[in-house]
A and B are shown apart, each in its own frame.
Chain A
């Protein structure tokens, strides 16, 4: 169990961390589950009204971009006569992020209910949940939860006698970060390589099998039943203006209690850090990536002044992204950290666009040679001159995601990179780095 704490929780409210059965349908119903769906079906709430409530809540997409969910739903064509789809993005592969895994393991019916309501609001009769291949236990559990829901008449034809039909299926990935990008994900469901599509056309007009499709993150769907139950205004109030609701943060790295924490948006970073047990070994916070590996890194001092919401983190020069908080203490070598991240983007580029395919490889080679005592005096300028030639010049945002860490690491920790180039070694001695990781239980 890695949902380790919460402040005013919604998504994890009443969840007994130790229980093996809290994920089951009857336990979810006892916590108030499926009340939102039942209410909408019983009252025959007009679909536009459901979307309007979501708009009012200022729920913003939890997958990375923070796009307003209600607005996205309103892009789906209303008068379209053919099939429409709702797709859940549980291909959680953004380094640092492990919240959707726990949401699906411990509260799968909240996602199912959210997807059925989304289907109702957008007039879609079928949905898929695309689940990251590495977390197989999540896939099997989700299939079990689907079977429970179907047996209870909550999925399938004529749901609870309302006349509304909605089918929902699980689809698993098999190891490709790029399938988290929504159009690559659609290609992957169609049984192809996961290579992103050109946009436009956007999925709302040409999505899965060429039909109107809306893709949302797991946590986004899970929030929907709560919005319907409490009303959009009340949901917004639990967060802060423009940042409705609570959010799951995956805290990893140099903290005492890495895990998932649910807090209202706008909670101070220092509170979250405290909930995660504080810094490992009582050491200093050197840097933090607040929103998954693609978000710009921030120095510890700036991070300590932030609150955890889209606007505060953006103002500080980064992104709330997926809510993956990667904490690095003074034992971290920033060059080595960036070397590993740039290897990841090079490895995961799907290879369609030249700036991304070649750029990720080139950036990795330069950073790697700095790390391995082969750096050249003009390497830092070279790196900073490269990033603008990748960003905004590719089919999907992986190019930007690869460039932003490079830009921000070099900007905030330039001296450390320069030291590396000049002295051909780490500013942080290798044995200190190793001790910081705690693998051999050594202390600094």
Chain B
């Protein structure tokens, strides 16, 4: 289920923690599995649990507690818009509406071609650059006014 490359990455994480505490690597391991497979299926969660020698239910508890894990398939590009107050004061609500209109979907929906998923998020610790959105959990997009949103969408093939 997990590629050898993912296993290598997970091994590097396990090495950070004391002997016998490899469960500490579960957050990183789930993130690695999600990066490899696009989302976390029950099989993927179980594979991570088995690899770390923990109960699958314990790994599932973690996967379902933290919002950046996707327990359902998402589009090729997942855009999470921060709409918390500081971002809202700089137009985040409108940024979300603008995206909804452009993509023709609402929050927690995916475009029919499977390209985009739109999500609403909480403060990402980047409020000075509002409005902000996170692309595929990794790339922080700052100062997302209409022109910047248009530019981003045209870049994403």
Contacts and interface: CB of A to CB of B under 8 A. Distances in A.
Interface of A: 2, 83, 92-98, 100-101, 126, 128, 132-137, 169-177, 188-194, 209, 250-254, 258-260, 293, 324, 326-328, 332, 336-337, 340-341, 344, 347-348, 434, 436-441
Given A194-B65, A344-B84, A437-B90, A93 B122 contact: yes
B90 A173 contact: no
Report, nearest first, the 6 A-B pairs whose CB atoms are least far apart: A439-B91, A191-B23, A175-B67, A175-B68, A437-B91, A252-B86
Contact of B83 (A97, A194, A340): A340
30 contacts: A93-B123, A94-B123, A98-B125, A98-B129, A101-B125, A134-B124, A136-B138, A171-B16, A171-B24, A171-B28, A172-B31, A173-B27, A174-B67, A174-B69, A175-B122, A191-B24, A191-B54, A250-B128, A251-B128, A253-B86, A253-B89, A258-B128, A293-B84, A324-B127, A437-B93, A437-B94, A439-B91, A439-B95, A439-B145, A441-B145
Contact of B90 (A97, A174, A176, A439): A439
A133 B17 CA distance: 19
B123 A96 contact: yes
A194 B92 CA distance: 28
Interface string B77-111: 00000011110111111110010000000000000
Interface string B1-27: 000000000000000111001011111
B140 interface: yes
Contacts of A128: 16
B128 A260 contact: yes
Interface of B: 16-18, 21, 23-28, 30-31, 52, 54, 58, 61-62, 65-69, 83-86, 88-95, 98, 121-131, 134, 137-140, 145-146
Given A96-B123, A174-B31, A190 B68 contact: no
Contact of B66 (A97, A175, A337): A175
Contacts of A2: 128-129
